[in-house]
Amino acid sequence: MQRRKVTFKLDPNAAQLARREAWTRLHCELYNAALEERIDAWRKAGKSISYYEQQNALPQIKADWPEFVELGSHALQQTLRRLDLAFQAFFRRVKAGQTPGFPRFKSAKRFSGFAYPDPAGWKLMQHGGRGATLRIGSGEAALSIRARGRHRFGPDAKPNDITLTRRNGQWLVSVTLRVPDAACARRRTADLRRGVDFGVTDWATFDDGQTLANPRWLREELPHLAALQRERARRRKGSLRFKRLGRRIARLHERIGNVRRDFVHKETTRMVQQCAVLATEQLAPKTMSRSAKGTVEAPGRRVRQKAGLNREMLSAAFGMAHQMLAYKAEEAGTRLHLSNTRQLKPSQRCSACWEIVPKTSAQRVHGCPHCGHVMPRDQNSALVVLIDANTPGTGVAARPKPLPRQRGKSKSVTRETPATTPCV
């Protein structure tokens, strides 16, 4: 049994929208009251209040404020658990020496929504096609809201929990499904063995020289985005036009994100459906896109250029692509091999003689002084990770030359998805 998430767009009428907003305000009040209780208890008595103590107070809260009754006990418990997770993250960062970020009070307008952590208190009914109905509550107080969306897992998928969120004036419901393994399986159309190198110039380069162009979603919309931001800067902060322009900017960012996610979904699905072995290198987008401004004592160099490169790397969504490849490869029975970048150094290693050939980021052609091998840099990197995936044994980066490619299933010194048999 697997777990998968799907998102539906809700279409409430005016009365349903007003009740949803009222429920969100109540959840926000509960969150802020629980946070204030924890702060006061520590300041006045040096006592830490746990989640279970606050959860046990919910019956008395519902007795004193009847408006909380229709929200459901489990949804209220999940709001308290959300605060408890925020405190756990705060203490973990304090212990690790990072910037702590103490949990803050939230306004009703910025409170994202609420959740039901189990199947009690709601029901999702799929009508076929792209129609569905979400029923929240029971009896006369229940809400039946129309929803748009569908999933590919069929009637055997059982909803487990939901999270209702408000984003740019729209309400969405994210549903976690319990899905049988057979319903998750993807049909593979070919048994290719491919190495792929993700980059900024070309979004993906394969070992055979094929490339996927980088659509550069954010760069295409930067002039429009800059114009909207300049127009908003001329408005009085907090005015009606200022807020309208803020909503337009948020919708533009959302559209860019949706187009990016759609592209990555389609391309990663195509990769795993065509490949029996797919090799790439481990990437750390957070480290790669770190700012170059440095400190006061040691200021950085070429800060503006690095900021532009960071924007392009984050817009290319390498991290999203790796996450999607991980679970889609398992569903399709594809072996996903992630080479250790620090150990293998794919961009610096020659795929012909396995020697290290140092190159700067500006050098886009690999030329090996040891064996004379010349190849586009990204294609060479893709071929190196493919050889790493096909080479058995350990210590691959220490060998002077790669072993011949093996046809059979090989061991790997790096993390990879478990091999599964696709359902036919």
Are 236 and 346 in a shared domain?
yes
pLDDT range class, residue 161, cuts 50, 70, 90: very high
| Whole-number Å distance between alpha carbons of 114 and 266 | 31
pLDDT range class, residue 149, cuts 50, 70, 90: confident
pLDDT at 421 over 70: no
pLDDT range class, residue 95, cuts 50, 70, 90: very high
| Whole-number Å distance between alpha carbons of 84 and 163 | 17
CB 175 within 8 A of CB 164: no
pLDDT, mean of residues 298-310:
86
Give the domain-ending residue among 65, 80, 110. 110
User: Comparing C-alpha atoms, which of 55, 62, 118 is closest to residue 83?
Assistant: 55
Q: What pLDDT was estimated at residue 399? A: 42
219 lies in some domain? yes
Are 295 and 357 in a shared domain?
yes
Are 171 and 316 in a shared domain?
no
Are 10 and 131 in a shared domain?
yes
pLDDT range class, residue 407, cuts 50, 70, 90: very low
In which region does residue 357 sit, left (phi positive, over 0), alpha (psi from -120 to 50) or beta (all else)? beta
| Whole-number Å distance between alpha carbons of 144 and 186 | 33
411 lies in some domain? no
Q: How many CA atoms lie within 13 A of 88 on its CB side?
A: 8
pLDDT range class, residue 160, cuts 50, 70, 90: very high
Are 367 and 319 in a shared domain?
yes
pLDDT in tens, 126-144: 776 778 889 987 767 788 8
| Whole-number Å distance between alpha carbons of 63 and 280 | 58
User: Comparing C-alpha atoms, which of 411, 384, 264, 387 is closest to residue 327?
Assistant: 264
Most confident segment among 80-89, 174-183, 325-334, 382-391: 80-89
Q: What pLDDT was estimated at residue 295? A: 76
**How wide is the angle at C-alpha 216 spanned by C-alphas 210 and 219, nearest 5°?**
155
pLDDT, mean of residues 39-56:
95
pLDDT range class, residue 24, cuts 50, 70, 90: very high
Are 213 and 293 in a shared domain?
yes
281 lies in some domain? yes
pLDDT at 392 over 80: no
| Whole-number Å distance between alpha carbons of 10 and 133 | 9
Rounded to two decimals, the pTM is 0.83
424 lies in some domain? no
Are 317 and 387 in a shared domain?
yes
pLDDT range class, residue 287, cuts 50, 70, 90: confident
pLDDT range class, residue 390, cuts 50, 70, 90: confident
Residue bearing the bigger pLDDT, 197 or 391: 197
User: Mean pLDDT across the chain, nearest whole number?
Assistant: 87
314 lies in some domain? yes
404 lies in some domain? no
- Give the strand order in the sheet containing 275-281: 211-213, 202-206, 192-198, 275-281, 335-339
Percent of the chain with pLDDT over 90: 62
Helix 240-274 crosses helix 217-233 at what angle (to 10 degrees)? 170
Are 347 and 267 in a shared domain?
yes
| Whole-number Å distance between alpha carbons of 189 and 298 | 54
Give the domain-ending residue among 75, 110, 145. 110
pLDDT in tens, 233-260: 999 999 999 999 999 999 999 999 999 9
pLDDT in tens, 328-340: 999 999 999 999 8
Give the domain-ending residue among 50, 82, 110. 110
Q: What pLDDT was estimated at residue 306? A: 87
Q: What pLDDT was estimated at residue 419? A: 44
28 lies in some domain? yes
pLDDT at 422 over 50: no
| Whole-number Å distance between alpha carbons of 204 and 195 | 10
Are 131 and 216 in a shared domain?
no
Q: Tally helices (H) and strands (E) across the chain.
A: 12, 14
Q: What pLDDT was estimated at residue 400? A: 42
In which region does residue 180 sit, left (phi positive, over 0), alpha (psi from -120 to 50) or beta (all else)? beta
410 lies in some domain? no
pLDDT at 184 over 90: no
pLDDT range class, residue 50, cuts 50, 70, 90: very high
Percent of the chain with pLDDT over 70: 92
pLDDT at 401 over 50: no
Are 144 and 243 in a shared domain?
no
Q: How far is CA 368 from CA 71, 242, 347, 388, in A?
A: 67, 57, 12, 19
Structural domain containing residue 63 = 17-110
Are 235 and 149 in a shared domain?
no
| Whole-number Å distance between alpha carbons of 305 and 313 | 12
| Whole-number Å distance between alpha carbons of 200 and 217 | 12
pLDDT, mean of residues 359-376:
90
For the chain, the domain total comes to: 3
Are 177 and 197 in a shared domain?
no
